[in-house]
Each structure stands twice: as structure tokens, then as C-alpha cells.
Amino acid sequence: MKSKNIDAYIIPSTDPHLGEYVPDHWRIISWLTGFTGSTATVLVTDSIAGLWTDSRYYLQAGSQLHESGFALINPINSLKHDFLSWFSDNIVSGNNIGLDDRIFSIETIQKLEKSLDQKFVLFDLNCDLISDLWQDRPVMPYSLAFDHLLKYCGKERSVKIDEVRQEMRTRKVDYHLLTSIDDIMWLLNIRGNDLKYSPLLISFAIISEQQILLFTDESKIPLKLASEFDKLDIVILPYEETAGIISTLSKDSTMLLNPVTTSSNLFKSVHSGMNIIKDISIPARLKAIKNSVEIDNIRSIMIKDGVSLIKFFFWLDKKPETISEVSLGEELDRLRSENENFISPSFSTIAAYNDHGALPHYSATAESDYVVDRNGILLIDSGGQYLDGTTDITRTISLGKPTELQKRNYSLVLKGHINLALAKFPVGTRGSQLDILARKPLWENGLNYGHGTGHGVGFCLNVHEGPPSISPATGSDSKTTIQPGMLISDEPAIYREGEYGIRIENLLLCCEDYENESGKFLKFETVSLCYIDKSLIDFTLLNQMEIDWLNSYHAEVYDKLSPFLTEDERLWLGVKTASFISL
Amino acid sequence: MKSKNIDAYIIPSTDPHLGEYVPDHWRIISWLTGFTGSTATVLVTDSIAGLWTDSRYYLQAGSQLHESGFALINPINSLKHDFLSWFSDNIVSGNNIGLDDRIFSIETIQKLEKSLDQKFVLFDLNCDLISDLWQDRPVMPYSLAFDHLLKYCGKERSVKIDEVRQEMRTRKVDYHLLTSIDDIMWLLNIRGNDLKYSPLLISFAIISEQQILLFTDESKIPLKLASEFDKLDIVILPYEETAGIISTLSKDSTMLLNPVTTSSNLFKSVHSGMNIIKDISIPARLKAIKNSVEIDNIRSIMIKDGVSLIKFFFWLDKKPETISEVSLGEELDRLRSENENFISPSFSTIAAYNDHGALPHYSATAESDYVVDRNGILLIDSGGQYLDGTTDITRTISLGKPTELQKRNYSLVLKGHINLALAKFPVGTRGSQLDILARKPLWENGLNYGHGTGHGVGFCLNVHEGPPSISPATGSDSKTTIQPGMLISDEPAIYREGEYGIRIENLLLCCEDYENESGKFLKFETVSLCYIDKSLIDFTLLNQMEIDWLNSYHAEVYDKLSPFLTEDERLWLGVKTASFISL
């Protein structure tokens, strides 16, 4: 910093694509500080080396930063301690601020600059202090692209490209910059293995009326695919040349880009005279609506995924000895990996026993690992990436005899889950309107959970996929309504710190219900398939509609999964899914 | 237009304060075209004289514009036919556009300019073609200001001024421009009689650290009040000098104003170097939270207001002959006017029989007037302005024997109403999250209503008072959460075009419920008092919680109102409010 005359250096947890999924090559904060959480900002000045993160990571950061030389700055839940407030209060006029703007979004840079707009500071946006220091830095991921076949994805790439171009013409867009990798994978019907939990090939793309420029390592594209691309005027260019090519585009044109996922570095290369439309990408909106082939595949993979879960819970139930959280996750991953078309888990499997379950993003490690005995609450949140779709499901089960309070809390979460699953709503309804359905039974009992109720799910893409969501936040994209073909999770929860966590998650597919003089109405179809632990239900808290839903769901789970189970497993599942008859 | 070289002239339905309540002096469209609805835009060119309004007024506009020479441009429900789209499609490069920007908001002018930004047009913003043409134009309203006493408003004006200045200091605001009259009334604890349904005195104001400049006709302020103002450095200046004074303010300062309620004309007078913060006003946020004296008064006026309603419905029930909608409204207004501290109705009383009830904003006139016989559904929406608060209540009753479908629809509206009234929710919840509670029973049956569920209500001020609302729209102010002390309506509805309308409206007061480890929870107290017509309820559609709510509400109505009724009325109300016992 001294040699480059930098007074303050900022490091984010993001990579050049500014999404949730970051390869090890860009996990600078983890290398520098030891903190492995997904969201953080590091600031180094001559007087401080600090790390900011959000409240779900306070415990973890406190422990991982121990003796790292970095201080956790955000121990109290005060707005004045968020990074931007601290930054604007503590940076001195005349300071030089250094950062590598390849990994900062346009929006973040604008916020940084705005926070200091009363002060005279200089920003060095091309300041990469890390590459020279990080000796054993992991190389950029390298995998081969593969064709995502029509029987999986349901729509030719040429058709998708036409649809995007049609929308570009309507909006008078000459160039559409794609910075989110999953948008590019969807558009070109390709996948890769560059990331651990998402089948992606690192790339940027620019769509114009005549061409698509695909920026990636050319050697990652097999010849057969390259020749298919050639027919559609998809031109492969080196990943590193993205900014350079952008700078050559005519200033008398209009470009559509997403300011949240476009780096300041790429944006700087856009000609200042160009007309810029800032919005989420066209593929992001299109791919959120699953097509009929994708929908058939989704219904189908839920069977194999559900069978893996039943085999897992049966195995756990029958296993005489105790077992560790880590081993549980390994066994579930192993069972899923035997399924046809399996690629990888869709995220790091969460097997969280008792108080670990109260940490919504807990991931067992060798250090944290609990022995799972027969006297507590176990939360399992897991999913798979398959060529024919992506799953994400959470079950909470009781090992031993649950307390009345545990049953009460579980029943309230289940009521919220069912309440959302049974929603009927007119076209035009946003996720932020539906969120309360899952929370209402909790709110009526003075309970709540600190995260959203549901997220969109990709198709053989990221397990968290915007823009749809079901959350109290109106978010950056309040224009997104819940539409037929959207796949969204339904995961209300109760966390009792130091005791246990309860979360019940299925994926819901939005479908048309009917149309009348009041307009068109929509509903959800529950697609995930696994039993819900009745031993944790206080049935006196469920109304008849909720009991009917549970019985009917359990009958469907049994009918669809039992043909693929052993005789023992089938008998066991029969008991788990037997109807509850109210008196 | 020709003498002034204007090719297109635009007239809005707003006045210089850009609110919902407009004195006759500014009802230019009504004078020019005959259309009396509250929202419209008129455009005159050499080839067209057109009027745009929204769908709720299509029928009315079609009839009122007949032979006016003005065409209703918006007969089909197409976005391309909204005024701005039509305007940008039809205005020709080189045109001169004239308008009087004293009655256009900053936002509207910006939208007009943006819609034409590809065309070379000139705007003449100081173009008042109306004043010379309108011979018998109503004069500006003239009434005297009066002190709104502490026993009503609960907080000294000096304390309110201190609170606003404290917030100005926090936000580093030097000048706070107030353009919404109700904000000024609240701040200075005065009222007037310039408007028919709101006790307001037309004025602008500018708050600074040292002074408050009150722009109004000096002769409207009685001497005693003027002397009180003098002690607080509240300076009275002529209304017409507002823009001139604004132009003298130091450019090295910061001004807070609301771009939705500030006219382009006033905004133009602000020095271009001044730092402008655009937000809703500080008084708007403060006055939405009623203080404890106001809350006591609100609870108290609901008794006299409810007694008037019971006397009205009793009178209607006992009256042998049929009666007209207009006469119904007159009788209800007369009964209310006998109450202590009555000022005026809070809006034009809606007495809508059968298919008139399906028009949410119907107001009976001599031309439309129906005879109310004994075979239909009657919707009464009314309210009063009192020195000690403002009311707004809707009841729908059956005259004759209701059909099963009418009872079903009424019961669903009632379920929605109760569902919202019983809401419990954490601090931080927005109205757009709660809206679905009132709609859910309707949505589950393929029904809906096209307006919001609830609006904020002023205290001896406008009956529609932002920023709180309960509506699917996230609106312009998504920062507004529902907070203790807010008074909000709860009015779900079903409209069956050509048949009848059903709406049930009470006012809800937000209160604290309790606080626990999940945070602080809020609830509503229903403050409006009038029976709900049981003859329209299909009790098999209500669950026990809903029946309990109704019985308990009816017991409260009877207990609080019966002491003020005659023996006959009391017996009658006893039957109307008798408990329903489920079997």
C-alpha cells in the first residue's frame, strides 16, 4: 500500500460476476483473514485491519478471525457500524482509496463514492494488491463446456436467442451485456463444471442483432459445440478481452446491462456517449419461467431425489450406533450421487443437530462436528444438481421424544408452510405480498424468522435464482410478479438460539388455477417429495384444511416413491405417511 | 391558443397544492367540460379536445361529456391510451406546448418532458389561458383560521415546531417547504373552512431554524392567533408571494420538499445551486402517528358518530314509505351535524342502492337518484369532520330477503375484514404486506376488488391521509411501516357490476401488543362503532374465531352506544347486535 501510495484498501467477497457463487481463485478474504463466510468486506488502513459481515456470521467470524490480525468490526447490531457508515465517518480528506474494480459492482462503487462526496479523496480503481502477494492462489477453474440437450432444457438455443433479440428490438437495445453466468448457460444451452455446486462455465457475453460474443477460454468449448455455435454466429473470444471489446462498441447505440452484476471495470469500458438501460437481464426474466419440458423434468427428478431422502432417513432410523453431522451429510450426498443424471449437490449439505440447527447457514466442519445421538432435533437441508433439474429440500425430524414446545413450534412452522402452499392469488401478485401467508401462524404466536420465505430455483443452474422471491423485502425488483412456470421454495422456520432450529422446505411450482370475470387466478403445485415428521406435530393445532393437505401430500409421497424402495423401506414409509384421522 | 402561438394546451384536475381536495376555483375541467370526477387530464390542440380519466370514471365521463365538444379518449383499457403515451405518440416536433405550471407537480412536468425527449418541442410553462376566459369563476375560498385547541390536538404548536426542527437538524435541512395544507394545519394547530370536506385554510409554509413563513391571506388570521404566532416567530406573508420569497433563499443551503406535492412553478423559483432533498414532509410522517390525546378523542367521537349511524339505520328500518338515495344522504348528514364539535361531512356521503353500489366512488345526484325500495342491497359510506377527530365508515345492509350468493359474498368480505382487524405483526411490517389478509378469503373464491384495502385517516384533517396505506401497491413510499398510533381504514369489498356492491369498513388504530425475544409485536384496535348486518351473513362460512370477533364487536357496539339511544332504538340495536351462537 505504501509503495502504491494507498491509504485505504478495500476487498469484497465477490468475483467479476458479482453473484453468490465464487470460485476459490477469488476467495481473497478467506485466504487473507481465514473467514470463510459468503459475505464480507475487508478494509485495511495504516491503523486498522477490519472485517465487516452480517449478523448470521458474527459467531463464525469471531472464531475464525481469532489471531488473524483482523478485527470483526460489526459486533453490535447498529446501523452506524455498517461498512459504508464506518467508511464515510473514518476516511480522511486527502486519502487515496485503492480497490480492484473488476470485483466491485457499479452500484457498490457509486455508493462508496457517494458516502464520501463531502470529502476530497482519490480512488485508484485499478489497484490489485493481491495477485503478487498470494503465492499459492488457486488457478481459475477449468472445465469443458457440454451441450445441455433438448430433452432436458426443452428449447433450442436458436429459439431462445430469437426471443431475447425480439425483446431487445422492442426495447430498442443494440447490445445486451450478460454478466451472470447462469444467464449465458441458459441462453446457449451449455453447462460446465467450473463451480462446486452450480454447473457453470465462467464467461461473459454480449448479444447484438447479428452476433453473440461469448467471452471464455476457447479451449473449454469442444469442437462439436463450437461448430454449432458458429452456425448461429456465436463468436468465442478470450475472457480477458471483455472490457476491451466493450470499448469498441459504437457510442451511437443502446446497451442493456444489470448494474448489480456488472463490474465497475467493465462499465468503465463502455463509451460514455452510449445510451445505457440499467435493468435485470432479459434471460433472467425468461429463464425464471420454466418451460413444459423443464416442468416435466422437474416433476420427474423429484421422485429420484425423494427416494434418496427416504433411503437416507430410513438408514438413519435403523442405524444402531450414533453418527456425526459430517457423516450424515456424506451419506446423503452419496445416496443422491447414485441417481441418474446427477452432477453435484446444489449447495453444501446442512446436517445440523440441536443448537446447530438454530444457525440458518450452518455447515458442519471437522471442528464443529456434533455426535448425533437419539435425543434431539435434526435439521437436514440439501439438494442436487441434475441434468434434468435442481432440487432443494429441508426436513426437520425428531430423534427421541420431542417436548410439547418443540411440537408446538414445529406445528406452527408447518401451518405457515401449508398456508403458502395452498395460496390462490390473481395474476399480478408479487412475492412480497404472499410472504405473510407463511409467517402468519408464527406472528400470531410472537414468533418470526429473519430470512425470506422463498427463493427462485434454477433449472440445472443456481439453486438460488432471481428475480422471483417470497420475502418481506420489496427488493430491487418490485416489478417481479409470481407467474406460472416459476419454481420457488417455501421454507418458514423457527430458530431457538442455543437449542434447535425447525425449517420445513418444499419447492412450489406456480400454475394457472382458473379465469373468471375477476381475472386469472394462480396457485402452487408442491413438487418436492419427502415425508414430514408426524411425531413432531401437535395435531390439535392444525385445522381440517391443514390436516387434509398433509394426508393428501403424504399419500402422494408414498404413491410416487414406494415403487423405487425396498420392501423394508416401503413398509417404513407407509408408517411415516399414514393418514392422520381427526376425531 | 393561436394568439399565444400554442399548439397544445394541457389542463390537470389539480390545484397549486396538488392534493386530492380541490376548491371550486381550481376545478377548471369541470367548468370547461362538465366532467365532475376527481381525476382527469384535458388536452386541446387544433384537431382534438380530449379528456383522459381512469376506469372508475368511464361511465360518468361518457355521460357528462355528451355534447360538451370534448371526447373521452380512454374508453378501452389499454396502456397505450394513457395520457402520457398518447401525448408522446401524437405531439409533433416543433410544437409549442402550453400549460400553467402552478398546478402541475415537479414529477408530472418531468414525465411530460421525458415523454417527448426525442422530439424538439417548446414548453410554455406560464401559460394561463383560463383566467381570462372563465367569466363567473368562483373566487378563492375565504374563511377565518381558528385555534385548534390543545384539548383536541394534544400537543402545543411550539412542541411540534421543535420536533420538526430537530429532524431538520438531523438531516441537515435549512429550509423545509410545506405545500400540503394539512401538514401546515397540523404543525400550527389551526384549522379553517376553505374546503367543503376538510377543515383547511389554504396556505404554504417554509420552516427554518429561526422562523416559519406562513403564506396565506393575512386577513384570514384573527388578531389573537396572529399574536400567538408572533411569539413563535411565525411570520404571515401573502399567499401569492410564496415563489418570490423562495427565490430569495440562500443558494448555499439545503431545502427539503415533496416533489409530488410541490408545483413546478414553486420549484422553478428555488435557486438552482441549492441542495434539494426530495422526500415526503416531516409533518406528514409525524402527524400520521396520533398522540394519546388524539387517540382518546378518536375513541370518544366514535361513540357519537356511531350513535348517528344507529339512529339513521333505525329510522330507515322503521320508515314505511320508500325514499331516494339523495334523501338518505341528507338524513345521515343531518343526524351527524347535530353532534357536538361537528364541522362537516368528511366526504360526500355515498348512499348507493343495488347496482350503484358497484361503483366504488358513486355519489348520488338529482339525475342518478334511485328510489330505495325494500328489495335490494344498500351501501352507505360516510364520515364526519369533528374538532376532536375524523370518521369514515361503510356499512352494507339488506333491504328485503338477500339471495344465497349475496350472503356468500357478504360473508367473504366480512372474513377479509376480520382477518385484517385481527392481524398481529412485528414492528417493521409495511401495509403492502398486510393487504393480502383482507383479500385472502376473496382470492380463494376467485374474487377481488380493484382498490386498496385501507388508507390513513387524518385528525380533524383530510379523511385520506398518507403516508400509511394498506394496499398491494408498494407505492412511492415503501419506507412507511405500520406503527402504533396510526389510524387506518379496513375496507375490503366485492363489486358485482350491474347488480350491487358490498363493502365493510371500520377504522383500525395500530397499538403495541407485546415484546419478546423475537421483537416487538403490534396489533389493531377497531375503533369504529356500528352493527354489521347479520341478515347478510352465512354463518356456516365463518370459523369460530370470526364468530367470536363478531360477537365481541357487537357486544362492544351495544355497550358503548346504547346509553345514548332511545328505548326503541336500544331494543332494535339489541336485536341487531345479539350474539350468534354456533351449534
ipTM: 0.88
Cα–Cα distance for residue pair A54/A79, rounded to 1 Å: 11
- Which residues of chain B are within 8 Å of residue A423 when distances are taken between CB atoms? 443
* Contact residues for B60 (Cβ-Cβ < 8 A; gap 6+): B35, B36, B37
A101, A264 contact by CB (below 8 A): yes
Length of chain B equals 583
Give the model's pLDDT for residue B375: 87
How many helices (H) and strands (E) in chain A? Answer: 18, 30
The pLDDT confidence band at residue A357, using thresholds 50, 70 and 90, is very high
Q: Mutate one of A80, A118, A252, A443 to test the B interface: name it (highest B CB count within 10 A).
A: A443
Q: Identify residue B393 by its one-letter amino acid code.
A: I
Which pLDDT score is estimated for A476?
Answer: 54
Q: Do B435 and A433 touch (CB under 8 A)?
A: yes
Q: Cα(B190)–Cα(B184) distance, rounded to whole angstroms?
A: 8
**Number of H-type helices and E-type strands within chain B:** 18, 30
Query: With an 8 Å Cβ cutoff, is B415 touching chain A?
Result: no
List residues bridging with B416 in a β-sheet: none
A56 bridge partner residues? none
Reduced to 3 states (helix: H, G, I; strand: E, B; else coil), residue B142 is coil
User: A518 and B425: CB-CB below 8 Å?
Assistant: no
Verify whether the Cβ–Cβ distance B424 to A436 is below 8 Å: no
With CA atoms as reference, the chain B residue closest to A513 would be: B446
| Shortest distance, CA A390 to any CA of chain B (angstroms) | 30
Residue among A446, A447, A474 whose CB faces B474 most closely: A474
Q: A–B: how many Cβ contacts below 8 A?
A: 64
User: Cβ(B568)–Cβ(B557) under 8 Å?
Assistant: no
* Min distance A409 CA to chain B CA atoms (Å): 13
Q: Give B41 to chain A, closest Cα distance, Å.
A: 26
Distance in angstroms (rounded) separating the CA atoms of residues B518 and B539? 36
What are the φ/ψ torsions at residue A500 (nearest 5 degrees)? -170, 170
CB contact under 8 A, A443 and B432: no
Query: What is the rounded CA–CA span in Å between residue A314 and residue B103?
Result: 73
* C-beta of residue A463 within 8 angstroms of C-beta of residue A198: yes
Among B426, B440, B448, the residue with its CB nearest the CB of A518 is B448
How far does B115 lie from chain A, in Å, by closest CA?
Answer: 15
- What CA–CA distance (Å, rounded) separates B103 from B267? 12
Angle at CA B478, nearest 5°, toward B473 and B483? 105
Whole-number percent of chain A with pLDDT over 70: 97
Residues of B in contact with A447 (CB under 8 A): 518
Minimal Cβ distance to A448: which of B426, B433, B434: B426
Question: How many Å apart are CA A547 and CA A549, to the nearest integer?
Answer: 5
How confident is the prediction for chain A on average, in pLDDT? Answer: 94
Shortest CA distance to A214 belongs to which of A241, A252, A254?
A: A241
Do the Cβ atoms of A436 and B432 come within 8 Å? no
Distance, in Å, from the CA atom of B105 to the CA atom of B200, rounded to the nearest integer, reads: 20
The pLDDT tens digits for A118-154 are 788 999 999 999 999 999 999 999 999 999 999 999 9
Q: Is A411 helix (H, G, I), strand (E, B) or coil?
A: helix
Q: Residue A432 and residue B433: Cβ atoms within 8 Å?
A: yes
Q: Do residues A576 and A531 touch, judged by C-beta distance below 8 A?
A: yes
Compute the nearest-CA separation of A530 from chain B (Å): 27
A57's grid cell: 456470521
Q: Looking at chain B, which residue has its C-alpha nearest residue A428?
A: B472
Q: Where are the alpha helices (DSSP H) in B54-189?
A: 58-64, 83-90, 106-115, 130-133, 150-153, 157-170, 181-188
Partners of residue A507 on adjacent β-strands: A489
Which residues does chain B have within 8 Å of residue A521's beta carbon, measured at their own beta carbons?
Answer: 443, 446
Is B502 an 8 Å CB contact of chain A?
Answer: no
Q: Which residues of B touch A430 (CB under 8 A)?
A: 472, 474
Residues of A in contact with B434 (CB under 8 A): 436
DSSP B186: H
Residue of A424, A514, A543 lying closest to B444 (CB–CB): A424
- The DSSP secondary-structure symbol of B369 reads P
Q: Do B433 and A434 touch (CB under 8 A)?
A: no
Distance from CA of B579 to the nearest CA of A (A): 24
- The residue among B200, B170, B172 whose CA lies nearest residue B186 is B200
- The residues that bridge with A500 in the sheet, in sequence order, are A496
Closest CA to B192 of B461, B457, B545: B461
Q: Does A412 touch chain B (CB under 8 A)?
A: no
Quick one: pLDDT at residue B83? Answer: 85
Q: Provide the residue count of chain A.
A: 583
Subunit contact A433:B434, Cβ cutoff 8 A: no
Residue A429: its chain B contacts at CB < 8 A?
A: 472
CA distance A447 to chain B (A): 6
B475 has a chain A CB within 8 A of its CB: no
Nearest CA distance, A448 vs chain B (angstrom): 6
Mean pLDDT score, A381-387: 98
Model confidence pLDDT, tens digit, residues B427-445 = 999 999 999 999 999 999 9
pLDDT tens over chain B, length 583 residues: 999 999 999 999 999 999 988 999 999 999 999 999 889 999 999 988 999 988 778 878 888 998 899 999 865 555 556 788 888 888 888 899 999 999 999 999 999 988 887 788 999 999 999 999 999 999 999 999 999 999 999 999 999 999 999 999 999 999 999 999 999 999 999 999 999 999 999 999 999 999 999 999 999 999 999 999 999 999 999 999 999 999 999 999 999 999 999 999 999 999 999 999 999 999 999 999 999 999 999 999 999 999 999 999 999 999 888 899 999 999 999 999 999 999 999 999 999 999 999 887 788 888 889 999 888 999 999 999 999 999 999 999 999 999 999 999 999 999 999 999 999 999 999 999 999 999 999 999 999 998 999 999 999 999 999 999 999 876 655 678 999 999 999 999 999 989 999 999 999 999 999 999 889 999 999 999 999 999 999 999 999 999 999 999 999 999 999 999 999 999 999 999 999 986 5
Q: Does A248 touch chain B (CB under 8 A)?
A: no
What residues of B are in contact with residue A443 (Cβ under 8 Å)? 423-426, 521
User: What chain B residue is nearest to A521 in terms of C-alpha separation?
Assistant: B446
Nearest chain B alpha carbon to A439: B425
Letter for the amino acid at A132? D
DSSP one-letter code for A194: S
Cα–Cα distance for residue pair A16/A22, rounded to 1 Å: 9
Task: Judge whether A427 is closer than 8 Å to chain B, CB to CB.
Answer: no
Q: Which amino acid is at A157?
A: R
Is B440 part of the contact surface with chain A (CB cutoff 8 Å)?
Answer: yes
What is the distance in angstroms between the CA of the first residue and the CA of the last residue of chain B? 74
- Say yes or no: B436 contacts chain A, CB-CB below 8 A: yes
According to the model, what pLDDT value does residue B193 have? 97
* Record: contact A426-B448, CB cut-off 8 A: yes
Q: Is some CB atom of chain B closer than 8 A to the CB atom of A443?
A: yes
Residue of B nearest to A423 (CA): B444
Question: Among all chains, which residue has been given the C-alpha cell 339523495?
Answer: B326
From B424, which residue of chain A is nearest by alpha-carbon distance? A444
Q: Which residues in chain A are contacts of B430 at CB distance < 8 A?
A: 472, 474
Q: Is B427 exposed, middle or buried (0-12, 13-18, 19+ CB in 10 A)?
A: middle
Q: Please tell me the pTM assigned to this model.
A: 0.92
Nearest residue of B to residue A432, measured between CA atoms: B433
C-alpha cell at A499: 437449542
**Burial grade of B393 (CB within 10 A; 0-12, 13-18, 19 or more):** buried
